[in-house]
Amino acid sequence: MSSENNVFGAMLQEFAGAARLLGLDEGLWKILTHPKRQVTVSCPVVMDNGKVEVFTGYRVQYNITLGPAKGGIRFHPDVTLDEVKALAAWMTWKCAVAGVPFGGGKGGIICDPTKMSQRELEALTRRYIAEIADLIGPDKDVPAPDVNTNAQTMAWVMDTYSMKIGTTCTAVVTGKPIEMGGSEGRREATGRGVMISAREAAAHLGFDIKGATVAVQGFGNVGSVSADLLAKIGAKIVAVTDWRGGVHNPKGLDIPALIEWTAKNKTVAGFPGADALDPSTIFGLDVDVLIPAALENQITEKNADSIKAKVIVEGANGPTTPAAHQSLHKRGVFVVPDILANAGGVTTSYFEWVQDRHGYFWQESEVNERLELKMVEAFNTVLQTALKYKTDMRTAAYIVAINKVATVTKLRGMYA
């Protein structure tokens, strides 16, 4: 299968480019390209119509060398084991780049949550967690929200796990409601990290983010928060698209009003004061910064050549295929890769886990201040690595991550 469609194959290609530059030992190469554990579970649910449906769920713990596995749970009709495995691998590298003591994990259930009631979603979540309860825990594997899951889903995860072990355990999951051990600033954290990455990239390239034009693909949590925070520091968000449509205004969109419109209408399409935009054309807009914040494999060989942006900041996981990335790099487009750009979420998840374990919670300003320090440090480490190895930011981020995980793997030794 081509890596244009095979996301785990794409991850392996990205890994290989960095591993070769690093001169990675052959044995370590083998270890770091194989997931530690892959689990497939069946989740029977009594639906509202009285019929039983059986859903397939996955949990992959890719690597736990640096600490407990960390990664979200997504609900989507197109979830595959290959996708979950790739996302778990990316989480491994992301945690290493961000400098947090977690390994990489990911989970997913094949379902269409748009066609399910709240009761059905709760039943599915609880059954899935019951099936994997022995594998997760604050010292083993700490789930989080992802595509089509949210704070309420995480509350069900926490309650189900707590009922199973007979004591309340808030640290088993992050992205929870504030009232039950969630962290201030967690909801905005991934988007805040994207904003910081865009700002730092602009500074490196010598243009001011204030007044810079930005296009955002995807207007869920990451896209909307990124757009809002960038607008607040003076950037001009000129185009936004989602799965149902798009809007464009060269003078800049009113992002708070667009967020309000989207909350009511479930789409950016039809937003007054802007022209309609075909979602497929967003990559060809003449903007300074492009933020893909939707799903994987959105920038491919077919559309990479049409991109005019100076900077791409990957809010989504795996939005650019390896072949597309090579094309962009040759043309001098500065790409801040997903494992760096969207690491704000896992960094603040780490903060939440720390707060839960200590039972002491920080103010939002403190969370954001700590996130700023972590993201700027990670950006500069990757940038210096890129300059040292004379390579692009994605390869550099992999070099930083692989070197960290490989070093600790070597120090821990081979268990036999």
What are the pLDDT digits (tens) for 185-213? 999 999 999 999 999 999 999 999 999 99
Q: Taking the model in full, what pTM does it have?
A: 0.92
Measured CA to CA, the distance from residue 8 to residue 123 in angstroms comes to: 30
pLDDT tens string 45-93: 999 999 999 999 999 999 999 999 999 999 999 999 999 999 999 999 9
Res. 273 pLDDT band, cuts 50 70 90:
confident
278 has pLDDT over 50: yes
7 has pLDDT over 90: no
Res. 1 pLDDT band, cuts 50 70 90:
very low
Provide the Cα torsion 380, 325, 213, 145; round to 10°: -70
* Fold exhibited by the domain 187-341: Rossmann fold (3.40.50)
4 has pLDDT over 80: no
355 has pLDDT over 70: yes
Give the amino acid at 185: G
Residue 348 main-chain phi, psi, to 5 deg: -75, -25
* pLDDT for the residue numbered 47: 98
Cβ within 8 Å of residue 314, ≥6 positions away: 291, 292, 320, 335, 336, 337, 338, 341, 342
* pLDDT for the residue numbered 155: 98
* pLDDT for the residue numbered 3: 43
* pLDDT for the residue numbered 5: 54
Give the SS3 label for residue 135.
coil
Of 68-72, 247-251, 319-323, where does mean pLDDT reach its minimum? 319-323
pLDDT tens string 227-240: 999 999 999 999 99
Residues pairing with 213 in the sheet: 236
310 has pLDDT over 90: yes
187-341 has the same fold as 37-169: yes
Res. 415 pLDDT band, cuts 50 70 90:
confident
pLDDT tens string 131-190: 999 999 999 999 999 889 999 999 999 999 999 999 999 999 999 999 999 999 999 999
Annotated domain spans of the chain: 37-169, 187-341
* pLDDT for the residue numbered 2: 43
Cβ within 8 Å of residue 335, ≥6 positions away: 311, 312, 314, 320, 325, 328, 329, 392, 393, 394
Q: What residues are labeled active site?
A: 106
Strand order in the sheet with 334-336: 275-276, 245-248, 236-242, 213-217, 289-292, 311-313, 334-336
Across the range 310-328, mean pLDDT stands at 93
Across the range 83-111, mean pLDDT stands at 96
* pLDDT for the residue numbered 209: 97
* Fold exhibited by the domain 37-169: Rossmann fold (3.40.50)
Across the range 373-385, mean pLDDT stands at 98
pLDDT tens string 69-79: 999 999 999 99
